[in-house]
Amino acid sequence: MDAASLIGIISGLSLIIGAIFLGGDFQNFINVRGMMIVLGGTLAATLITFQFKDVIAAVVAAFFVFSEKKLDPNDMVETMIELCTISRRQGLIALSRLEIEDDLLRKACNLIADGSKEDLIRDTLNIEIESMKQRHYVVQDVFRKMALYAPSFGMMGTLIGLIQMLRQLSNPETIGPSMAVALLTTFYGMFLATLIFLPIAGKLKDRTLVEVINLEIIFEGAISILEDNNPVFVYEKLSSYIPAKKRRPRRPVVTKR
């Protein structure tokens, strides 16, 4: 897990739990019926909105985005520069013999090695980029919708509790505890939306932006290789996708063959 996510989760939970303990008994904030309404209702509404496979993909993506190291566009720039160097020294066909893990980069290399025209490469890679954006948008939207549903079901649970409380107005001693229980569901919904679902959606969006930059670098690098550009010029062109303060000085990278 990256440092920012870890610090955010720990600090957020610590502040909320600390405030609860300072204000009273932690058991007062536990209500099984409220959790059932908020968690069950949010999950049910999400499954109604999206296909089951999209919900599963969103959960897997959330785990991946918090557990895997964030991609660095500088690495892709260096990879494209090395591919450019290899193609100039050994010819375009040499790119098809390289062992490349990234699917889009491997496809770009195969298209170049096959002698595809620039328009075909441009159209193919653009389709890949747009398809990736669409897939990631659906995954992000799952958590955005969950962040919308959770407070709504929290309010629904509060209304249910208030209705039950109003039926017992003849007993004033039960009004305070019943009101506290009714408001707990709103707390659960806000907690899930603001500390869980929205941050996950934001983190996924941030990762998508980085992946889009990497794909754009692959795209422009492939065109540069096809045009037989000098690696120095390729570096200057591709590094423009990265903020000046975050650019890594050009250095050779060894690619496994």
Interval 73-122: pLDDT, tens: 888 898 888 888 888 888 888 888 888 888 888 888 888 888 778 788 88
Same domain, 52 and 4: no
State the Cα–Cα distance between residues 192 and 194, nearest whole angstrom: 6
Q: What is the pLDDT of residue 257?
A: 44
Instruction: Please work out, in degrees rounded to the nearest 5, the angle formed at the alpha carbon of residue 54 by the alpha carbons of 187 and 65.
Output: 70
Domain encompassing residue 235:
33-246
Complete DSSP assignment for 156-181: HHHHHHHHHHHTTTT-GGGHHHHHHH
Question: Do 24 and 48 fall within a single domain?
Answer: no
220, 154: one domain: yes
My answer on whether 89 and 67 are in the same domain is yes
Q: Looking at the domain assignment, is residue 100 inside a domain?
A: yes
pLDDT (tens digit, 9 = 90+) per residue, 136-164?
899 999 999 999 999 999 999 888 888 87
> Which three-class secondary structure state does DSSP give residue 95?
helix
Residue 255 lies in a domain: no
Task: Please tell me the predicted confidence (pLDDT) of residue 139.
Answer: 92
pLDDT, residue 39, reads 93
Among positive and negative, which fits the CA dihedral 77, 67, 107, 241?
Answer: negative
Predicted confidence (pLDDT) at residue 63 exceeds the cutoff of 50: yes
Instruction: Mark whether 154 and 66 lie in a shared domain.
Output: yes
Position 252 pLDDT exceeds 60: no
Residues 41 and 24 in one domain: no
